[in-house]
């Protein structure tokens, strides 16, 4: 194996596939990159058996070959090399030779025969969307993905295309986050539950532009395919919560708040709340005044905001972290907060349209 590659291009590939390298494993091969040079293309692959990523580079290949090498060591070496062309080859002792200007490294390798093969997925359902759209939808929902492995279906996001609307939904039993986009292009319906970790890693790879990404699923496997890069993942099996029927349709109180002032007040109140292991904050709405306060052993805090309100006065408690993450995820200057009673969820929506919906369950105060 012998090829010549530009450092910057190789780093892009390394940064992409590194997301799938196993962090803790008893199988050394899963801590490796598979380097495959053939047919005028260089392919880097990594997998931890839950997610696999491969990246393709057009490069000058003098001799074809395939080998596995420690991912962490290879990555650190490439990052430290001068910004120049890099010569990489395999010698007779199966050492990977890395040469760049005056630098020369020799790395021990592992036989590539033990490296897991990423499956080829013949998608039974698929959608094609802009990478920027997917990146935004992940960012605005991923924080609500569950971490309880006893309820595995909630450790993923539901991606559902139906009646021309694409929904991405995450929930963890305490809050719900939903993004909705009018979808033009696909006419077929699509539904899959993708692990939250996969979406989190994919969001770090995809670009914030209008280039396309294809999402495909077949049985218990999913695929994300874009220019030069393909990621495969397991798809979570089970029935996702009927989220549309969980979100309250009736309200007793609607409060319209300035987003920035609201999140600033919540964050200040959360400082005191964290002093007592996330002690809940209390929100009181009385006419045009919203008061946020928290009383703990070490002291108390009181924040007051002018708001617009329609409906009954209310006193309700929340975990401030859940409210803060939901409010931060929105981009609008003003938000509508809908309440039922002191034991009903708070539903956060834009003042116009229905692009997002966040729901946070209250706590006892």
- pLDDT tens digits for range 126-150: 999 999 999 999 999 999 999 988 8
pLDDT number for residue 279: 80
CA distance 144 to 296: 27
CA distance 343 to 97: 65
pLDDT number for residue 133: 95
pLDDT number for residue 334: 96
Q: What is the pLDDT of residues 28-42, one digit of tens each?
A: 999 999 999 998 899
The CATH number for 266's domain is 3.10.150.10
82: exposed, middle or buried (C-beta count within 10 Å: 0-12, 13-18, 19+)?
A: exposed
Q: Which of 203, 225, 245 is the last residue of a domain?
A: 245
Does 208 lie in the same domain as 101? Answer: no
Residue 296: pLDDT band (50, 70, 90) is confident
CA distance 121 to 115: 18
Does 269 lie in the same domain as 206? Answer: no
Q: What is the pLDDT of residues 145-177, one digit of tens each?
A: 999 888 899 999 999 999 889 999 999 989 999
Q: What is the pLDDT of residues 329-355, one digit of tens each?
A: 998 999 999 999 999 999 999 999 999
Q: Residues 253-259: what's their mean pLDDT?
A: 97
Please report, rounded to a whole number, the percentage of residues in the chain having pLDDT higher than 90: 84
Q: Which of 189, 214, 245 is the last residue of a domain?
A: 245
Q: Which domain holds residue 175?
A: 125-245
pTM score of the predicted model? 0.91
Residues 6 or more apart in contact with residue 254 via CB below 8 angstroms: 309, 310, 311, 336, 337, 338, 339
Matching residue, tokens 């010698």: 91
The yes-or-no verdict on residue 276 having pLDDT over 60 is no
Q: Residues 288-295: what's their mean pLDDT?
A: 94
CA distance 235 to 222: 6
- 39 SS3 class: coil
- 171 SS3 class: strand
Does 285 lie in the same domain as 195? Answer: no
Whether 120 is covered by a domain: the verdict is: no
Does 252 lie in the same domain as 205? Answer: no
Whether 365 is covered by a domain: the verdict is: no
pLDDT number for residue 277: 59
Q: What is the pLDDT of residues 313-334, one digit of tens each?
A: 999 999 999 999 999 999 899 9
Whether 345 is covered by a domain: the verdict is: yes
pLDDT number for residue 298: 82
Q: What is the pLDDT of residues 217-226, one digit of tens each?
A: 998 899 999 9
Does 6 lie in the same domain as 100? Answer: yes
Residue 299: pLDDT band (50, 70, 90) is confident
pLDDT number for residue 187: 67
If phi over 0 gives left and psi between -120 and 50 gives alpha, with beta otherwise, what is residue 163? Answer: left
Residue 274: pLDDT band (50, 70, 90) is confident
CA distance 85 to 98: 11
Do 223 and 232 meet the contact criterion of CB atoms below 8 Å apart? yes
Maximal CA-CA distance, the chain: 81
The first and second tokens of residue 231, run together, are 């990621």
pLDDT number for residue 272: 83
| Total structural domains within the chain | 3
Do 145 and 172 meet the contact criterion of CB atoms below 8 Å apart? yes
The yes-or-no verdict on residue 264 having pLDDT over 90 is yes
Residue 310: pLDDT band (50, 70, 90) is very high
Residue 295: pLDDT band (50, 70, 90) is confident
Residue 278: pLDDT band (50, 70, 90) is low
Please report, rounded to a whole number, the percentage of residues in the chain having pLDDT higher than 70: 98
Q: Residues 51-80: what's their mean pLDDT?
A: 96
Does 240 lie in the same domain as 129? Answer: yes
Whether 119 is covered by a domain: the verdict is: no
């Amino acid at each position: 194996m012998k090829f010549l590659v530009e450092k910057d291009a190789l780093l892009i590939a390394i940064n992409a596939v590194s997301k799938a390298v196993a962090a803790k494993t008893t199988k050394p091969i899963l801590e490796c990159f598979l380097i495959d040079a053939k047919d005028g293309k260089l392919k880097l692959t990594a997998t931890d058996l839950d997610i696999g990523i491969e990246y393709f580079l057009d490069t000058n290949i003098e001799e074809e070959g395939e080998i596995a090498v420690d991912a962490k060591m290879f990555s650190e070496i490439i990052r430290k090399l001068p910004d120049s062309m890099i010569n990489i080859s395999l010698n007779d002792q199966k050492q990977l030779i890395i040469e760049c200007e005056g630098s020369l490294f020799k790395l021990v390798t592992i036989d590539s025969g033990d490296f897991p093969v990423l499956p080829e997925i013949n998608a039974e359902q698929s959608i094609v969307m802009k990478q920027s759209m997917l990146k935004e939808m992940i960012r605005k929902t991923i924080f609500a993905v569950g971490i309880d492995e006893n309820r595995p279906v909630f450790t993923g996001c539901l991606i559902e295309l139906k009646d021309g609307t694409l929904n991405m939904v995450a929930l963890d039993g305490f809050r719900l986050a939903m993004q909705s986009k009018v979808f033009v292009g696909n006419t077929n319906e699509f539904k899959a539950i993708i692990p939250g970790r996969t979406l989190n890693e994919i969001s770090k790879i995809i670009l914030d532009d209008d280039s396309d990404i294809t999402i495909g699923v077949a049985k218990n496997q999913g695929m994300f395919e874009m220019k030069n890069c393909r990621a495969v993942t397991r798809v979570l099996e089970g029935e996702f919560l009927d989220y549309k029927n969980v979100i309250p349709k009736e309200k007793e109180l609607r409060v319209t708040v300035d987003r920035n002032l609201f999140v600033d007040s919540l964050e200040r109140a959360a400082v005191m709340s964290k002093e007592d292991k996330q002690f809940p904050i209390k929100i009181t709405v009385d006419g045009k005044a919203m008061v946020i306060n928290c009383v703990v052993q070490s002291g108390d805090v009181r924040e007051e905001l002018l708001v617009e309100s329609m409906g009954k006065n209310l006193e309700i408690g929340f975990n401030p972290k859940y409210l803060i993450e939901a409010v931060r995820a929105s981009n609008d200057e003003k938000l509508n907060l809908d309440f039922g009673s002191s034991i009903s969820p708070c539903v956060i929506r834009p003042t116009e349209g229905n692009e997002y919906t966040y729901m946070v369950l209250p706590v006892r105060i």
